[in-house]
Amino acid sequence: MKLLSKFSSILTAAAILAASAVIPVCAAGRLTYTFTGDEAAKPGYAEGKITLESAPSGEYKLYWADDNSALGGYYEIAALKSGRSFSFSEHTLIPPEATKLIATTGSKKVAEAAAVFDIPENKRFKYKSSDALYSFMNYSDIHIDEAKNTYYKFSELHWQKALETAARRGADFIVTAGDNITNAEGPGTEFDKFQQILSDSPFCNPVYEGSGNHELRAGTPDSMLSAFVSATGLDGKQSTINKGKPYYLVEEPESGDLFIFMALEYKYSPDEGDEFSPEQLSWLEKTLSENYGKGKNIFLIQHALIEGYGAGDDEDNYYTVPLKTKYKTTVQFRDIISKYPKLIWISGHTHIALRYGYNYSNMNDTSCHMIHDSSVCCPTTLNYASHNLSYDAASGEENKDFTEGYYSQVYPDEVVFLGENLYHDKIYPASCYIMESCRENADKLTSQNSAEVSPVLPGSADFVLFAERCVSLPKSFTYKGVSDSDLKALREMCKTLLGEMYSFASYDDYQALKKAYLNDKTDYKTLCEAYLKVFSHSREGIVNIYFTNSKGWKQPYAKLSSAKNSNGATGEPLKKIGKDKDGNEVYTLEVNSRRYSTVVFTDGTDEKQSEPQTLNGKDNTLYALNGSDPSSPYYCYVREYEG
């Protein structure tokens, strides 16, 4: 398929439904709009050809408009000269609130446009934006990168902007399609930064992450996927986290719509082997067979696209490391999704910018709906000469505002994806897609939707810790007699806890407390109960670390830190427990790897200290100083402590 054919296909007259505008008195030109494709008669479907005729020479900008002016928050559709045309591709959207098309050289007011097309009533989208049942942001390839790779140098800024856009949109939740981090040197510090930015952002609804190939980049698949499970909290339920599987389900609580999150499991480069375990594919097949056709929408989030198949690549093969069909599990995955035509698969991986139009496919009605994401961090552009994708646009200061994703809305009988620039919170009209919803009295998956609470109960050790910090908590839990000063004290405690526990920012309980805290009208009882749920996580991540004192320091210390926490300027003294086989003293310390991400060992001064090391969240990790390393007498290496 040639690139230009995506936006400029011309169908025969027998296959089209044509309409044209009545020219206003003030208009100098004329717009015609011929709707094409299988959905030519359906409301809200934009596929078709728009032509500007009889206008004076010059370039005109084409916009969606309501009865008064161009829609706010949208870029122009295209720039046209008289006699030229623009074509919308399949399953593109006529936006909510759009009643007209206008062509203009300046003013965006309908009355001052050079040409106007009135969208027929039967083609206008049936709903207002406010009619959506729920909405979510759809992001991919965020690539938080603490190694400061040139391509990813704006990753932190772009993640911050994506979250600000989600908050302004009032999205009910965020889903990510993988590569949340770059993982050049291990996931610890990058997930730490990912969560810190999330905790500091104005977005306070759930965030559900998929796992991509970069989550597997540094280390063994088991260790990398364990880090992903712990950092993201998956669906926020302890029972799911305890399973230790990187794939999971989320049910939208009001509609019963289902979100299936898959994970690449074996290779950093998806083109080098089988990526899905038989267990995961069986789980996917079972989940789909049990829920498909039950009147609910099913969204599948799976990072890597398939070679030569569907959105993101189809027949043009610009991307060099997709899932290869020479591997068994790729074919199995493709065969599964091809059986469920109303399934909506959301992928990422290529970063390809939305403007190229590689973002929707259903393989000519032979597979499911496929939506392909661009990248929050660094959208790629096409290099036509070498027939591949280029990251060059991501590295230039002039492209600091180049960050993309989708704002998705679910209506009673339609689902739409609005592609936008997240830095400017502005929508690209040609990158908006529509497909039929499956909503019709869906049965809820009550077993998936049941709330799980890990309460801090009176008499427990955690409750004692809590009570020590919350002296104003009514002992009876009746919440009677609570004063304004009690509420003020609790709000301060919530602020402190949100800062201390920011590494749980992707957990639903954390986001719920953040939302309650940011609302200054939240009552004491609601705030206290939200606090308790987050506090119950405070003992997670406790591990023992060990240190071989090969330098003979009188008293080794461990300085612990993360984006928001530290254990003081000096750190904590380690406890001596014995000697290793070489006669070096061995020390230990209990640390919370969810509160701290980095450790530096010192002799109690700033003169002698190890290089910073990432806490990996595992018990029995031994740190030792390698004096023979020529680059540093305090180079730190890591291995398992054998006792």
| Res 638: pLDDT | 83
| Res 24: pLDDT | 40
Residue of 206, 255, 212 lying closest to 234 (CA atoms)? 206
| Res 591: pLDDT | 92
133-179 pLDDT tens trace: 999 999 999 999 988 788 899 999 999 999 999 999 999 999 999 99
301-320 pLDDT tens trace: 999 999 999 898 766 777 88
CA dist list (Å): 385 to 290, 382, 389, 390, 391:
47, 9, 10, 11, 15
421-454 pLDDT tens trace: 999 999 999 999 999 998 765 454 443 433 454 4
In this model, does residue 408 exceed pLDDT 50? yes
HSE, side-chain direction, 13 A CA sphere, residue 494: 30
Residue of 56, 59, 118 lying closest to 86 (CA atoms)? 59
CB atoms inside a 10 Å sphere around CB 389: 19
HSE, side-chain direction, 13 A CA sphere, residue 80: 29
DSSP 481: T
Q: What's the mean pLDDT in 65-87?
A: 96
Burial state string for 62-91 with b = 16 or more CB within 10 A and e = fewer than 16: bbbbeeebbbeebbbbbebebeebbbbbbb
Structure tokens at 421: 């620039």
The H or E element that residue 331 is part of is helix 328-338
CATH 2.60.40 fits 542-640, yes or no: yes
* Residues whose CB falls within 8 Å of the CB of residue 194, separated by 6 or more in sequence, listed in order: 142, 144, 159, 180, 181, 231, 506
| Res 540: pLDDT | 78
Where does the pLDDT of residue 629 fall: very low under 50, low under 70, confident under 90, or very high at 90 and above? low
Where does the pLDDT of residue 455 fall: very low under 50, low under 70, confident under 90, or very high at 90 and above? very low
Surface-to-core class of residue 302, CB atoms within 10 Å of its CB (0-12 exposed, 13-18 middle, 19+ buried): buried
44-70 pLDDT tens trace: 999 999 999 988 999 999 999 999 999
Q: To 10 degrees, what angle do helices 524-535 and 461-469 make?
A: 130
Where does the pLDDT of residue 584 fall: very low under 50, low under 70, confident under 90, or very high at 90 and above? confident
Where does the pLDDT of residue 3 fall: very low under 50, low under 70, confident under 90, or very high at 90 and above? very low
Beta-bridge partner residues of 433: 92, 417
481-530 pLDDT tens trace: 778 888 898 899 999 999 989 999 999 999 999 999 999 999 988 998 89
| pTM score, whole prediction | 0.87
Q: What's the mean pLDDT in 289-306?
A: 96
What does CATH list as the number for 129-447?
3.60.21.10
CA dist list (Å): 323 to 200, 271, 306, 337, 606:
36, 5, 5, 14, 49
The domain spans of the chain are 5-123, 129-447, 453-535, 542-640
Instruction: Report the chain's mean pLDDT, rounded to a whole number.
Output: 87
Report the amino acid identity of residue 606: D
